[in-house]
Amino acid sequence: MKKIVYASFFLFSYLATHAQKDFQGMAVYESKTSTSDFKSRFEGNKDISPEMQKMIEERVKKMFEKTFILHFDKSASIYKEEEKLDAPTAQGGGGMRMMFNSVTGGGGTYYKNVKTKSYTVDKEFMGKSFLIKDSLPKLEWKMEAETKVIGGYTCFKATAVKPVSVSDFRNFRPKKEADKKEADGTKTEEKKEDKDKTETKTNFMDGFEMPKEITITAWYTPDIPVNQGPDNYWGLPGLILEVNDGKTTILCSKIVLNPKEKADIKAPSSGKEVTQKEYDDIVIKKMEEMSEMNGNGRGGFQMRINR
């Protein structure tokens, strides 16, 4: 009898360990970034026709709406944008989308390993391939009392303050009104009212800057006890199903546990190896060069980044 009990115990332990080792999950996330700030910059701009405004708004909105797939196990995950075929456009929309992918968090495979607390992501920027390797950002999550249901899973709220990635275009925020006036050279005591009434600002990025940190709100479910989430989010006692940073919302729309087809969860390996800071510096330098080249005339693109 004892032999049967011991045999059953070892069999159960083996099956539990084996199941945990082979456990995998797949989650689909829809990412949407508010473009209302960009839209407001067109209002009153006499140099851009209403038709052109509408076309730009639709194109920017589409570029900021993405679908991602997260494959995860107990210790690692890969997060990648779902590939979509874009219709060719006379305006070179494909190249514009590739440019936006480089600076809006898309276009690469994001590998996270929560055991080693490291990540690897491959990126293409301005025709060059990069392999970013660094430590996972550690957020000081504050557990909140609120709960809600997402896709049938009970989720708990958590918040954290996060330093921004200066190479991610989504992190641009509107400047405060005082900063706008100072940047435009229109301080109250210096501006000429009659001239200002007829003068329209055409510099699209004049009203934006990069903040140093943003507040993150996440919703996680302990029903799926993995230390994983979309993008670079992790560190909660359950899978993160929704996250919002004030402008971008990433929401899980589908979950499959132990899918029949297992994913190959491994880090990407191609590209010039750099740290996150090195990559950020490369992107910012190139964007500032483009800003200087295009910002000399009316309607130019100019950036202001606080670092």
What does the pLDDT average to over 19-44?
74
| Cα gap 37→21, rounded to integer Å | 46
pLDDT at 292 over 90: no
Residue 261 falls in which region: left (phi positive, over 0), alpha (psi -120 to 50) or beta = beta
What does the pLDDT average to over 262-285?
92
Residues in the chain: 307
Contact at 8 Å (CB) between 108 and 168? no
How large a percentage of the chain has pLDDT more than 90? 43
Predicted confidence band at 146 (pLDDT cuts at 50, 70, 90)? very high
pLDDT at 307 over 60: no
Which are the contacts of 42, defined by CB distance < 8 A and separation ≥ 6?
48, 53, 56, 57
| Cα gap 86→106, rounded to integer Å | 15
Average pLDDT of every residue of the chain: 76
pLDDT at 70 over 70: yes
- Burial class (CB within 10 angstroms; exposed 0-12, middle 13-18, buried 19+) of 3: exposed
| Structure-model confidence comparison of residues 103 and 69, the more confident one | 69
Predicted local confidence at residue 24, as pLDDT? 96
Cβ contacts of 234-238, under 8 Å, gap ≥ 24: 234/112, 234/114, 234/136, 235/114, 235/136, 235/138, 235/139, 235/141, 236/141, 236/158, 238/156
pLDDT at 113 over 60: yes
Secondary structure class of 289 (helix, strand, coil): helix
Burial 218-251 (b: 16+ CB within 10 A, else e): bbbbeebebbbbbbbbbbbebbbbbbbbebbbbb
What does the pLDDT average to over 108-116?
95
Residue 128, beta-bridge partner list: 125
Which of 76-90, 147-161, 219-233, 291-305 comes out lowest in average pLDDT?
291-305
Predicted confidence band at 287 (pLDDT cuts at 50, 70, 90)? confident
Predicted local confidence at residue 95, as pLDDT? 46
Half-sphere exposure of 268 (CA within 13 A, CB side): 23
pLDDT at 117 over 60: yes
pLDDT at 87 over 60: no
The pTM assigned to this predicted structure is 0.72
Predicted local confidence at residue 16, as pLDDT? 42
What backbone phi and psi angles, to 5 degrees, belong to 5?
-65, -45
Cβ count within 10 A of residue 286? 16
pLDDT at 233 over 50: yes
- Minimal CA–CA distance to 138: which of 236, 215, 241? 236
What does the pLDDT average to over 185-200?
46
| Cα gap 23→72, rounded to integer Å | 9
Predicted local confidence at residue 85, as pLDDT? 59
Residue located via tokens 């993405």: 66
| 181's tokens | 């006036």
